[in-house]
């Protein structure tokens, strides 16, 4: 018997996230586990007169393919996939990892070569298609969250079934405030950072592209970032887990970077010129996500958090920074994580993870849950 929560999630994805219409083509990509959700998406897509297609990617086999990848191989893949995506209107990726470190030993130069060639397709998908990316609850994800598989599944469906329309409306005053703000200051343990967001658009994320969701993002003026930031949340990038990442900026550029694996951290930041500049600043508000689980789709939405992103800027909040890297790093400012403050133009807007301006209080966890 189908878990009714899977049916509800599929409905949310088709109605709210990709807004699938009759006679449109939907590509469902399953990376690892997630077949039950893919099957329900196929059923519901057919029921509305659309044309679903499914492809499966085995993470262990994908690792083997990447171990020998080079630019020429990637160019063939780009050509074939570009032709395929021309006929696709909506794209849903179900990420169900059985081993979250499957790609940890892929040589970084292989990953760089592949990403650089495939970047035009990634840009096309992000800017020209209706798409959604979600992680499917697996034992590996439950273990990463330090939860039982059953408890994690219950948590997962609570997170994914949030009233995203209510969240969207609560975000509107913050969006307006951000778009009239010049100077931002972030303060907390090991962090005192300033930058400008003057003239940059802010973008509400309330279930349209990611499930779970709950963030609003913009980008700093590229050369305006100065000071130091310390991240109190672990982050995995290109299969390697990093902890205690500390970045120091001068005129926008990361001039010093340390972590538990300082060498590999700097190797990634040296991927290209843009990797040492910031492409995104975002504030997380999802009331059901309170603690890190080393999964960026969840961690970047943690209530009372923000994330800062070395690398490529996103198209709809573009500060001009270009890079093959886009690495969301998360800092939680709630009291149990050391606290912290966000200031806009010398006005305190959030303290210890809670918004303090009356017009923003609807974004606090008790209001979003209620």
Check whether 208 has a pLDDT greater than 90: no
Question: Quick one: pLDDT band at residue 364, thresholds 50, 70, 90?
Answer: very high
Task: Give the pLDDT confidence of 229-272 residue by residue, as tens digits.
Answer: 999 999 999 888 999 999 999 999 999 999 999 999 999 999 99
What residues pair up with 30 in beta bridges, in sequence order?
A: 56, 94
Average pLDDT over residues 113-138: 90
Domains and their CATH numbers in the chain: 4-160 (3.40.1830.10), 164-369 (no CATH)
pLDDT of residue 99: 86
Find out whether 279 and 321 touch, Cβ atoms under 8 Å.
yes
Encoded tokens for 48: 């509305």
Question: What does the alpha-carbon distance between residue 25 and residue 81 come to, in Å, rounded to a whole number?
Answer: 15
Find, among 268, 270, 188, the residue nearest to 231 by Cα: 188
Check whether 165 has a pLDDT greater than 90: no
Find out whether 294 and 309 touch, Cβ atoms under 8 Å.
no
Strand 130-135: give its sheet, edge to edge. Answer: 51-57, 25-32, 90-96, 130-135, 210-211
Find, among 279, 290, 281, 286, the residue nearest to 335 by Cα: 290
Average pLDDT over residues 134-154: 88
Question: Quick one: pLDDT band at residue 369, thresholds 50, 70, 90?
Answer: confident
Task: Give the pLDDT confidence of 70-103 residue by residue, as tens digits.
Answer: 999 999 999 999 999 999 999 999 999 888 788 8
Check whether 39 has a pLDDT greater than 90: yes
Q: Report the percent of the chain where pLDDT is more than 90.
A: 77
Q: Report the percent of the chain where pLDDT is more than 70.
A: 99
Find out whether 162 and 214 touch, Cβ atoms under 8 Å.
yes
pLDDT of residue 33: 93
Interhelix angle for 149-160 vs 4-12, to 10°?
40
Check whether 370 has a pLDDT greater than 80: no
Q: How many CB atoms lie within 10 A of CB 57?
A: 13
Find out whether 350 and 365 touch, Cβ atoms under 8 Å.
no
User: DSSP letter at 225?
Assistant: -
Whole-number mean pLDDT of the chain? Answer: 94
**Helix, coil or strand: residue 131:** strand
Task: Give the pLDDT confidence of 301-311 residue by residue, as tens digits.
Answer: 999 999 999 99
pLDDT of residue 294: 82
pLDDT of residue 238: 84
Question: Quick one: pLDDT band at residue 207, thresholds 50, 70, 90?
Answer: confident
List, as one string, the DSSP characters of 104-122.
TTS-HHHHHHHHHHHHHHH
pLDDT of residue 334: 98
Question: What does the alpha-carbon distance between residue 116 and residue 71 come to, in Å, rounded to a whole number?
Answer: 8
Check whether 214 has a pLDDT greater than 80: yes
Whether the pTM exceeds 0.75: the reply is: yes
Question: What does the alpha-carbon distance between residue 282 and residue 299 come to, in Å, rounded to a whole number?
Answer: 12
For every residue of 6-60, which 3-state class applies, written as one string?
HHHHHHHHHHHHCCCCCCCEEEEEEEECCHHHHHHHHHHHHHCCCEEEEEEECHH
User: Among all chains, which residue has been given the structure tokens 């609560």?
Assistant: 170
């Amino acid at each position: 018997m189908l878990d009714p929560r899977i049916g509800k999630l599929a409905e949310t994805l088709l109605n709210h996230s990709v807004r699938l219409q009759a006679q449109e083509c939907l590509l469902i990509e399953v990376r690892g586990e997630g077949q039950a959700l893919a099957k329900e998406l196929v059923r519901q897509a057919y029921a509305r007169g659309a044309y679903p297609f499914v492809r499966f990617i085995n993470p262990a086999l994908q690792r083997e393919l990447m171990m020998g990848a080079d630019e020429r191989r990637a160019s063939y893949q780009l050509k074939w996939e570009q032709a395929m995506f021309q006929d696709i209107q909506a794209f849903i990726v179900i990420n169900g990892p059985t081993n979250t470190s499957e790609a940890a030993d892929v040589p970084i130069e292989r990953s760089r070569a592949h990403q650089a060639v495939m970047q035009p397709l990634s840009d096309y998908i992000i800017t020209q298609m209706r798409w959604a990316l979600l992680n499917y609850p697996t034992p590996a994800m439950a273990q990463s969250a330090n939860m039982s598989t059953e408890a994690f599944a219950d948590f997962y469906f609570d997170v994914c079934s949030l009233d995203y329309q209510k969240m969207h409306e609560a975000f509107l005053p913050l969006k307006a405030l951000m778009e009239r703000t010049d100077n931002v200051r972030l303060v907390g343990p090991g962090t005192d950072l300033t930058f400008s967001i003057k003239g940059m658009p802010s973008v509400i994320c309330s279930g349209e592209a990611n499930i779970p969701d709950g963030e609003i993002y913009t980008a700093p003026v590229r050369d305006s970032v100065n000071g130091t930031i310390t991240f109190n949340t672990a982050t995995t990038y290109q299969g390697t887990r990093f902890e205690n990442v500390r970045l120091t900026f001068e005129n926008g550029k990361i001039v010093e970077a340390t972590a538990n694996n300082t060498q590999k951290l700097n190797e990634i930041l040296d991927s290209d010129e843009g990797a040492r500049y910031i492409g995104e600043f975002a504030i997380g508000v999802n009331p059901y996500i309170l603690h890190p689980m080393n999964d960026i789709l969840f961690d970047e939405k943690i209530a009372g958090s923000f994330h800062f992103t070395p690398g490529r800027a996103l198209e709809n909040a573009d500060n001009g920074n270009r890079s093959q890297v886009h690495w969301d790093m998360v800092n939680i400012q709630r009291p149990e994580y050391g606290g912290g403050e966000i200031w806009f133009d010398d006005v305190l807007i959030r303290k210890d993870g809670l918004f303090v301006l009356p017009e923003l209080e609807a974004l606090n966890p008790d209001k979003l849950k209620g």
